[in-house]
Structure 1
Amino acid sequence: MDGNGRWAQQRALPRTSGHSAAEATVIDVIEAARSAGVEWLSLYAFSTENWRRPDEEIDFLMRLVRRVVRKHALLLHARGIRCRLLGAEDPRIPAPLARDFADLMTLTEANRGMTLTVAFDHGGRQDIVAAARSLIRAGVPADAVDQACFAAHLPVPDTPDVDLVIRTSGEQRISNFMLWQVAYAEWIFPPVLWPDFRAPHLLECLHEYRRRDRRFGGVAPQAKG
């Protein structure tokens, strides 16, 4: 979800205004994805690298995320959405926000609609290191470690591989997002800034994804005749 700062800059507003404007996009995209039949949706809300931002901006983001979680928790639950968290281990995360995340996951854990994963204080490299440490602690022999075994030790291990990554604002880089899971993901980089991104943009990306020929390193079968 990229472009909040540039959205605000274009309007001569503080960066925090861009973050506030992004709330409407988040809810619109969640609703549109659910209606389109998307079974797993992940939103990259705050990365391990985002701690390098100014303290004032980080404090604002923590308050904003808490307000959004508390405001929309019952709506997400009513929609049958199961909410998960990927990350959120840094002790700098305010305790009230951590409790709100935990309460949201408890509230929605029995839901069987779309699964919404919020990547917060998330980093793909951090997850891979965590998996390696888990394997070592479990005493798994080196020869027994294969891809399936490694994936089983990742945080939130039942998360499926990512099919499609949408990065708004035209930026074209991974930014440490779910590095293991995006190995064969399709990528789309719409130029629209995140606060302006809406359901029609998401549907356009889904349509583009369905048009792509996904071969996973193989070749298309040859027609006979």
Structure 2
Amino acid sequence: MDGNGRWAQKRGLARSAGHRYGAEKLYDLCAMCIKRRINYMTVFAFSTENWRRPEAEIEKIMDLFIYFFNKYRDEMEKEGIRIRFSGVKDGLSDQVKATIAEAESTSVHRKNLQLILAFNYGSRREIADSCKKIVAAVQNGELDPDDLDEDKFRDYLYLPDVPDPDLIIRPSGEQRLSNFLLWQAAYSELYFAKVLWPDFTEKTLDQALEAYAKRDRRFGAIEEE
């Protein structure tokens, strides 16, 4: 969800207006994914690094987080969208925490799409937190260090049951992951769209999916001749 601020500035609007348009676009993308039978979608809504932004902008983003769920609560229930949170709750207001708790608890049985919100999320932080949990498990006698491998490490990630992403789409023309799903993206295909997030359309999504369909995913192996 990159490029909200730049989108607004290009139109002479406040950056907060770009974030609002971006929030509206998120629900549109949910509908696009359901239409295409995509079962999981993770969006990078707010990073741990975003706390460095001006306080007024952060407040607007937090207000929009609450606004999004209040506005689309009924629609997401009707469409069968399950909400999940990935990140840390440190620094979040009680109102934001309550919104997260309600969104997760009321949607747990929905099946059409899992919308994973990476909110107050940083992948390095996730990996560090996972290591802390592993150390605690070893100290408590719950884990034998010799049993630790890649599959076991996954058990200590924020959402271990969510599969690795097949495709990561980044709008705005930037070509980097910016601390997003570094562990999970080991074999993900990457697609960099030049459009800013509020201008993301079905055509943009289909172009990304078409490019993905043409990729040869070998996962480190080669075909025998």
Aligned to 2:146, the other structure's residue is in SS state: helix
Deviations 1:63-84 (A, max 9, x none): 0111011111221111111110
Q: CA deviation at 1:220?
A: 3.1
- In structure 2, C-alpha distance between the alignment counterparts of 1:22 and 1:114, rounded to whole Å: 19
Match of residue 85 from structure 1: 85
Aligned to 2:212: 209
| Residue identity matched to 2:172 | S
Deviation at 1:23, TM superposition (A): 2.2
Matched with 2:55 is 55
- CA deviation profile, 1:6-50 (whole Å, cap 9, x unmatched): 111111222111111112211111100111010110111000000
State the alpha-carbon separation in 2 of the partners of residues 87 and 221 from structure 1.
42
C-alpha distance after superposition, 1:76-120 (max 9, x if no partner): 111111110001411x21111111111011111011221110110
Q: CA deviation at 1:142?
A: 2.4
For 2:223 and 2:15, locate their aligned partners in 1 and report how far apart those are by CA, in whole Å. 47
TM-score using structure 1 length: 0.95
Residue pairs, 1:179-198, within 5 angstroms: 179-198=182-201
Give the SS at the match of 2:220: coil
How many Å separate the matches in 2 of 1:186 and 1:87? 23
- Provide the alpha-carbon RMSD of the alignment: 1.1
Structure 2: where are the runs of 5+ without partners? none
* Aligned ranges 1:58-137 → 2 under 5 Å: 58-90=58-90, 92-137=91-136
Structure 2 counterpart of 1:5:
5
Amino acid of the residue matched to residue 15 of structure 2?
R
Aligned partners of 2:73 and 2:87: how far apart in 1? Answer: 19
Letter in 2 for 1:131: S
Report percent identity of matched pairs.
39
Deviations 1:172-195 (A, max 9, x none): 111111111111100000100001
Q: Which amino acid aligns with 1:204?
A: Q
| TM-score, normalised via structure 2 length | 0.95
- The unaligned stretches of length 5 or more in structure 1 are none
Q: Provide the aligned length of Structure 1 versus Structure 2.
A: 221
Maintained 8 Å contact 1:48/1:121:
yes
The AA in structure 1 aligned to 2:144 is P
Paired with 2:74 and 2:219, the residues of 1 have a C-alpha distance of: 39
SS at match of 2:172: helix
Moved more, 31-40 or 4-13: 4-13
**Residue by residue, what CA displacement relative to the aligned partner does 1:126-157 show, whole Å, maximum 9, x if unpaired?**
11111111111111232221001100111111
- What is the alpha-carbon distance in structure 2 between the residues aligned to residue 6 and residue 187 of structure 1? 22
Distance 1:48 1:104 in 2: 21
Contact 1:41 1:117 in 2 (8 A): yes
Q: What amino acid is aligned across from residue 36 of structure 2 in structure 1? A: A
Number of the residue aligned with 2:165: 162
Moved over 6 A (4+): none
User: What is the one-letter code of the residue matched to 2:134?
Assistant: L
**1:221 shift after superposition:** 4.2
Structure 2 counterpart of 1:116, one-letter code:
L
